[in-house]
Amino acid sequence: MNIERPTVIVTGASRGIGYATASLFLARGWEVISCARNPITDIEGFDNKLITHILADLTDTDSLDNFIKVVNSLLEGRALTALVNNAGISPKSHNSERLGCLNGDLDAWRDAFELNFFVPLKLARGFASSLHKGQGAIVNLTSIAGHMIHPFAGSAYSSSKAALSALTREMANEFAALNVRVNAVAPGEISTEMIQPEYEMLIPRIPLNRMGTPDDVARSVFYLCSEDSSYVTGSEIWVTGGQHMS
Ligand SMILES: NC(=O)c1ccc[n+]([C@@H]2O[C@H](COP(=O)([O-])OP(=O)(O)OC[C@H]3O[C@@H](n4cnc5c(N)ncnc54)[C@H](OP(=O)(O)O)[C@@H]3O)[C@@H](O)[C@H]2O)c1
């Protein structure tokens, strides 16, 4: 590992927004440590030596603890510049029915809160010391659904993302003492495996009149991890094409 390079951890980098984020940081010369339950199969065009992808199920306590241990030993006491809490799940019913407060298994709520809320908190704690050394930044991937009723995103997902928005504020306040900035990016409708074909019908509600791309989100994440946002903490950037205004 090169001691001069900024280093970022990106969770959930096997596909979607996490993959685009890892790719962007690599393209901009950062060292990337990433994780997911599956490997990254396509990192063509990048110097593989600058990415270490670790297989981990972050909802499994042993696997999460092992991930923190392996990364801290990879860092060998070096500073960590950024942590991107991207891995997330949006539980769906088998018949595409929206999972609400009155239907569905409560275990789906626990699963959503574990990955979408508790894992970012656990990782922030696990990497607090390395982030302090790097005077670094944490970016949490929240959601438009955490702020308003969404026609397809379920209540468990939306509540967990609202909690993550609140956690971003609380962490920003407490991590400021460590010289670590904490912000969130709240995407709207982004074309990844997380969303279903019916989401296309939401396009007329989006002022920019298109779905977002994972790269659209990755660029805002990068901004919040870079020196360009050195006085920004406790903020949440909407990456929604304006959908949050309606
Ligand atoms: N797409 C949207 O429209 C949208 C909108 C608002 C917010 N977001 C948020 O943006 C983030 C990324 O979303 P996305 O659309 O890119 O989702 P995605 O395509 O479903 O990707 C999710 C990523 O999380 C990883 N992951 C899932 N469970 C995991 C676990 N237990 N341990 C480790 N990694 C795990 C997945 O990898 P493996 O399956 O290989 O583990 C995958 O890499 C999420 O937090 C999501 O809530 C997305």
pLDDT digits (tens, 9 = 90+) for 131-165: 999 999 999 999 999 999 999 999 999 999 999 99
- Known catalytic residues? 157
Torsion over CA of 117, 123, 48 and 22, rounded to 10 degrees?
40
CATH class for the region spanning 7-245 = alpha beta
Hey, which of 9, 24, 37 would you mutate to test ligand 1's pocket, going by the most ligand atoms within 8 Å of its Cβ? 37
d(CA 122, CA 68): 9
d(CA 239, CA 237): 6
Hey, which of 194, 199, 200, 243 would you mutate to test ligand 1's pocket, going by the most ligand atoms within 8 Å of its Cβ? 194
Hey, which of 9, 10, 14, 17 would you mutate to test ligand 1's pocket, going by the most ligand atoms within 8 Å of its Cβ? 17
Domain locations along the chain: 7-245
Residue scoring higher pLDDT (73 or 246): 73
Q: What is the structure's pLDDT at 43?
A: 67
Pocket of ligand 1 (CB under 6 A): 12-18, 35-38, 56-59, 86-90, 115, 141, 143, 187, 189-190, 192-195
Res. 97: pLDDT tops 80: no
- Judged on CB neighbours under 10 Å (0-12, 13-18, 19+), 1 is middle
pLDDT (average), residues 121-140: 98
Ligand 1 centroid from CA 18, angstroms: 7
∠ Cα 135 34 67 (to 5°): 85
pLDDT (average), residues 93-121: 91
pLDDT (average), residues 35-60: 86
pLDDT per position as a tens digit, 191-210: 999 988 888 999 999 999 99
Res. 184: pLDDT tops 80: yes
Ligand 1 centroid from CA 36, angstroms: 9
Ligand 1 centroid from CA 87, angstroms: 4
Ligand 1 centroid from CA 152, angstroms: 16
Q: Which residues contact residue 43 at a Cβ distance below 8 angstroms, ignoring those fewer than 6 apart? A: 22, 23, 26, 51
